[in-house]
Amino acid sequence: MNTISNVSRRAFLRGVFSAGALVLGVSLAPETLLAEADNRSKGDPRGAVFQPNVFVAIEPDGTVRIVAHRSEMGTGIRTSLPLVLADELDADWDRVKIDQAIGDPRYGSQDTDGSRSIRGFFDTMRECGATARIMLLTAAARQWNVPQSECEARLHTIVHLPTGRKLGYGELATAASSLPVPPRSDLRFKPSAKWRYIGKWIPGYDLRDICEGKPVFGMDARVDGMLYASVEHPPVLGGRVKSVDDKAALSVPGVRKTVAIAPFTPPCGFQPLGGIAVVADNTWAAFQGRQKLNIEWDNGPNESYDSEKYKQELRATSRQPGKVMRSAGDVDAVFAKGGRIVEAEYYVPLLAHASMEPPVAVADFRGDRVTVWTPTQDPQAVQETIAGLMGINPENVTCHVTLLGGAFGRKSKPDYAVEAAMLSKAVGRPVKVVWSREDDIRFDYYNSVAAMYLKAALDGKGRPIAWLQRSTFPPISSLFEIDAVYGGPGHLGQGWTDIPFDIANLRVENGAARAHIRIGWLRSVANIYHAFAVQSFADELAHASGRDPLEYVLDLIGPPRIVNLEGVRYPNYGASYQQYPIDTGRLRRVLEIAAEKSGWARRKNGGGTGWGLAVHRSFVTYVATVVQVEVDDKGQIRIPRVDTAVDAGTVVDPQFVKAQFEGAAVFGTAVARTGEISVSKGAVEQANFFDYPLPRIAEAPYQTNVYIVESEAPPGGVGEPGVPPFVPALCNAVYAATGIRVRDLPLAKVNLASRKAA
Amino acid sequence: MIRLKVNGSEKAFDGDPQMPLLWYLRDELGLYGAKYGCGVGLCGACTVHIGGRATRSCITTMSAASGAEVTTIEGISQKGLHPVQKSWIRLNVPQCGYCQAGQIMQAIALLDSNRRPTDDDIDKAMAGNICRCGTYQRIRAAIKAAAEERA
């Protein structure tokens, strides 16, 4: 349970806020830690250097300052979480200032991933806002010597209703700061009808600055006296420098020196890859110097990794019995009886994040302390990883979080920030490490390659009476355990063990695969390949049975119910299953809405035009997508329209939510059309946007309509859930348009010009 | 010595004439609006205006920029919000925002040469600007809205 404390008088706040400010902190970590921090700062002769775990402060001038402790990478979270607090406080949003938090364990986890920031902190923000509001009410009632029940908060002022007297929040801040925090039982929350900001469009805090080219991304961080560095990494994971000749590099004007970064000790985790850094006076000189390095590599055992061969291995594994993760009825007995059996295999390659801002970090290492400025999703991981690898205390690592120029999961891993810290230590100056686009594409933590095998036995109406699905992929846990070959329950719980279909005989399996490259989280993660397989297979079965895919998928989902996952290890994205169960009623509803809004019933397939649908729950949010596609005689595809229905429970800012689903359609287009990282002799073959192309304006869906289901259910995720259903919906549309079934992504490798009559 | 004008003020540069303008703007002048995205002119994040034309600063060398009149997003903003910036704000175009300075510079150049661009015109003019967040639909709408406002 969170504890809200009045920390207005804490020593460590001096100099952070004005004297007399009301400051409330929420201890997401134990209160004892806060006390320790307080004592430490008192004993620190240089004064307080760290930020407390503050969520809200009301300054005597009326400015309300709210800490954003999650990272802003384009989802709007830096606006929407403070907005929840401001709403409950009834603050004037124009008088709210947002302070971006540095990394600090006292915030609890700051790892901005898993589409869980609103889900995790919606209630906390409301409690904090309500607490501050009550304290202001109490302060006003005392000042006027009237009962508190006669007072009301109204947009940054407390009003005494019988007399109409008013006091601004700023005028009350100092008096309120000496009051005790009211017990949770005294908190009264606004009814949703009185929400001032939640559910309305409030422009992003940084919107205008972005349009003026002003905000500071990691790429724009600058410290006086800093040098610039670019790192030549071993082309193969685990490779080492055998010999290096840096004479030519050092002769490039502006190049100062080269620095070796030691290879990592397996498992690789978040450690730098090693290699040779070129340190220079500007980015260009560092890039130029790097090209002149002459390095001989010892590539190590991963040199034999070839993605085409690996694909065949994954497929072979998926055809063999695997580890059973969920089982109901007796699938084997039904298959043994024969009858109508359908099998299919699906494949999704490695995918790169390719955020527009490549990894970048500035670090200043002095004595036993390091200060870092970097676009990170997880500043605490920056602290811990640097501290662990450099033998310093995590508290001596200060991590400032800049805006993130896209992230999609890549920037949860702080390897690049560690490089900056190591290089700063080596050269005795602040250093900015800039990854080139080529570095970004070649040295990513890729979304796992996966091979899926599915098999169903159908009854006379084409409905499955038995369903077997087996998925094989190198797991993310291979980053941390060398021998990890099976997916963990969280990874497998992404669209695999949680299959919501109403089938009596069902078995879900996982095959073993060893990683030879860094595998990591990418927007939607395993849901990408699992939803592709399940929703493509459902479409195949519908067509095989001569049934309408909409009616067929609704039949597969079955009647509205809570899916019983007893006996299945299912973490449910870290949410309680009681609070966030798999509700097939909600799943059906989004599918019905998307179909209806798209005009599904009136669709005309064939002749190069096709409609496809898919529905998927991920990150505790329900999404259905209908994609319309046009395939021309050359096999080029155009996506004129996408209709997506979303049930994410309570929605804070519908504009941000819509934008996330519009963006997910483009992200999904990238996955489906061209998303493929291939590997030869252990090294990634792609390098830049010419061989890892992303959709451009004409290739992206022309119009994506997003329908948000009104709901008072607790909030779900919105950043990731749009991608998984989009990819199979597009491929199902391609089938409807051309009669060509795409089972191996990406589409770019499939000749769609050989159109069949659908 | 290379001389050029950046956002109206005279500059002189005596470093590597092969250095791209982008790194001069960013590392030397501290103008961070134009962004590094690919370094090879494929993504448009680095777009600035040279003599009013949208130009990829990451592949424009300093020697090629000699004598040029360069305008960056900062130069646009210093005259108050441009109609394109206004419609970008009104239609809530950006997500992460990293590519948006480039998108806006490209869109301004488009509207300067074509007052009422069609969908095809927009597709052609904006084809060199990648947005990984996928804000294209709003970019298109914002260009049309800005065109209408100016008409």
Model pLDDT, residue A43:
37
Q: How far is CA A323 from the centre of its chain?
A: 28
Residue A720: DSSP 8-state:
S
Residue with tokens 């970048």: A360
Which residues touch A208 (CB under 8 Å, ≥6 apart)?
Answer: B89
Q: Which residues in chain B touch residue A212, judged by CB atoms under 8 angstroms apart? A: 73-74, 77, 81, 85
Helix/strand/coil for A56: strand
Give A254 to chain B, closest Cα distance, Å: 9
Block means of pLDDT (10 residues each) for chain A, length 758 residues?
Answer: 73 71 71 43 32 71 93 96 96 96 85 92 92 96 98 98 97 93 92 94 95 97 97 98 98 98 97 98 98 98 98 98 98 96 98 98 97 98 98 96 98 98 98 98 98 98 98 98 96 98 98 98 98 98 98 98 97 96 98 98 94 98 98 96 98 96 98 98 98 98 98 96 98 97 97 71
A559 exposed, middle or buried (CB, 10 Å; 0-12, 13-18, 19+)? Answer: exposed
Note whether B92 contacts A207, CB cutoff 8 Å: yes
Q: Count of alpha carbons within 13 Å of A74, Cβ hemisphere only?
A: 33
**Matching CATH topology for A3-204 and A218-301+359-434?**
yes
CB–CB of A268/A484 below 8 Å?
Answer: no
Distance CA(A552)–CA(A554), nearest Å, equals 5
Note whether B19 contacts A282, CB cutoff 8 Å: yes
Note whether B95 contacts A74, CB cutoff 8 Å: yes
Q: Taking the CB of residue A560, how many other CB atoms lie within 10 A of it?
A: 12
Bridge partners of A115, per DSSP, are none
Distance CA(A117)–CA(A250), nearest Å, equals 46
Q: Which residues in chain B touch residue A695, judged by CB atoms under 8 angstroms apart? A: 134, 136
**Domains detected in chain B:** 2-76 (3.10.20.30), 80-150 (1.10.150.120)
Note whether A697 contacts B39, CB cutoff 8 Å: no
Mutate to test the interface with A, among B21, B98, B144 (most CBs of A within 10 A): B98
Note whether B101 contacts A287, CB cutoff 8 Å: no
- Cα distances (Å, whole numbers) of residue A517 to A235, A382, A417, A448: 11, 22, 20, 9
Number of A to B CB contacts under 8 A, please give it: 186
Note whether A703 contacts B95, CB cutoff 8 Å: no
Give the chain B residue nearest A655 (alpha carbons): B92
Note whether A217 contacts B131, CB cutoff 8 Å: no
Q: Which residues in chain B touch residue A688, judged by CB atoms under 8 angstroms apart? A: 38-40, 42
Give the chain A residue nearest B87 (alpha carbons): A211
Q: Which residues in chain A touch residue B34, judged by CB atoms under 8 angstroms apart? A: 213
The identity of residue B135, as a single letter, is: T
Give the chain A residue nearest B48 (alpha carbons): A213
Count helices and strands in chain A by DSSP H and E runs: 18, 28
Note whether B33 contacts A214, CB cutoff 8 Å: yes
Note whether B95 contacts A219, CB cutoff 8 Å: no
Phi-psi region of A399 (alpha: psi -120 to 50; beta: other; left: phi over 0): beta
Tokens of A517: 């490259």
Q: Which residues in chain B touch residue A282, judged by CB atoms under 8 angstroms apart? A: 19, 23, 27-28
Model pLDDT, residue A30:
45
Q: Which residues in chain B touch residue A73, judged by CB atoms under 8 angstroms apart? A: 96
Q: Which residues in chain A touch residue B129, judged by CB atoms under 8 angstroms apart? A: 696-697
Bridge partners of A397, per DSSP, are A370
Give B16 to chain A, closest Cα distance, Å: 8
Note whether B40 contacts A690, CB cutoff 8 Å: yes
Model pLDDT, residue A95:
97
Residue A324, φ and ψ in degrees, nearest 5: -80, 125
CATH architecture of A3-204: 2-Layer Sandwich (3.30)
The DSSP line for B45-67 is TTEEEETTEEEEGGG-BTTTTTT
Note whether B133 contacts A204, CB cutoff 8 Å: no
Give B49 to chain A, closest Cα distance, Å: 14
Note whether A284 contacts B16, CB cutoff 8 Å: yes
Model pLDDT, residue A11:
65
CATH architecture of A307-351+445-749: 2-Layer Sandwich (3.30)
A242 exposed, middle or buried (CB, 10 Å; 0-12, 13-18, 19+)? Answer: exposed
Residue A56, φ and ψ in degrees, nearest 5: -145, 140
Note whether A690 contacts B16, CB cutoff 8 Å: no
Note whether A211 contacts B85, CB cutoff 8 Å: yes
Give B123 to chain A, closest Cα distance, Å: 5
Q: Which residues in chain B touch residue A377, judged by CB atoms under 8 angstroms apart? A: none
Distance CA(B43)–CA(B31), nearest Å, equals 19
Which residues touch A505 (CB under 8 Å, ≥6 apart)?
Answer: A328, A329, A330, A331, A333, A334, A457, A465, A466, A467
Give B127 to chain A, closest Cα distance, Å: 6
Note whether B95 contacts A217, CB cutoff 8 Å: no
Q: How many residues are present in chain B?
A: 151
Note whether A662 contacts B96, CB cutoff 8 Å: no
- Cα distances (Å, whole numbers) of residue A205 to A74, A93, B96: 11, 10, 12
For A617-645, give one letter per residue: b (16+ CB within 10 A) or e.
bbbbbbbbbbbbbebeeebebebebbbbb
Give B5 to chain A, closest Cα distance, Å: 19
Which residues touch A46 (CB under 8 Å, ≥6 apart)?
Answer: none
For residue A372, give the H/E element and its range.
strand A369-374
Note whether B16 contacts A214, CB cutoff 8 Å: no
Give the chain B residue nearest A202 (alpha carbons): B92
Domain boundary assignment for chain A: 3-204, 218-301+359-434, 307-351+445-749
Helices in A653-722 by DSSP H: which ranges? 654-673
Give B112 to chain A, closest Cα distance, Å: 18
Note whether A406 contacts B132, CB cutoff 8 Å: yes
Mutate to test the interface with A, among B137, B138, B140, B143 (most CBs of A within 10 A): B137
Considering only CB atoms, B97 lies closest to which of A210, A408, A694, namely A210
Model pLDDT, residue B79:
87
Helix/strand/coil for A272: coil
Give A597 to chain B, closest Cα distance, Å: 19
Model pLDDT, residue A756:
58
CB–CB of A614/A535 below 8 Å?
Answer: yes
Distance CA(B81)–CA(A603), nearest Å, equals 44
Distance CA(A661)–CA(A648), nearest Å, equals 11
Give B142 to chain A, closest Cα distance, Å: 12
Give B135 to chain A, closest Cα distance, Å: 6
Q: Taking the CB of residue A173, how many other CB atoms lie within 10 A of it?
A: 28
Q: Which residues in chain B touch residue A522, judged by CB atoms under 8 angstroms apart? A: none
Phi-psi region of A158 (alpha: psi -120 to 50; beta: other; left: phi over 0): beta
Model pLDDT, residue A13:
62
Considering only CB atoms, A282 lies closest to which of B28, B93, B129, namely B28
CB–CB of B12/B2 below 8 Å?
Answer: yes
CB–CB of A207/B94 below 8 Å?
Answer: yes
Largest CA distance in chain B: 44
Give B92 to chain A, closest Cα distance, Å: 7
Model pLDDT, residue A15:
67
The identity of residue A232, as a single letter, is: E
Mutate to test the interface with A, among B16, B38, B73, B122 (most CBs of A within 10 A): B38
Give B131 to chain A, closest Cα distance, Å: 7
Mutate to test the interface with A, among B14, B27, B31, B47 (most CBs of A within 10 A): B27
Q: Does domain A218-301+359-434 correspond to CATH entry 3.40.50.200?
A: no
Helix/strand/coil for A205: coil
CB–CB of A52/A106 below 8 Å?
Answer: yes
Considering only CB atoms, A437 lies closest to which of B34, B38, B131, namely B38
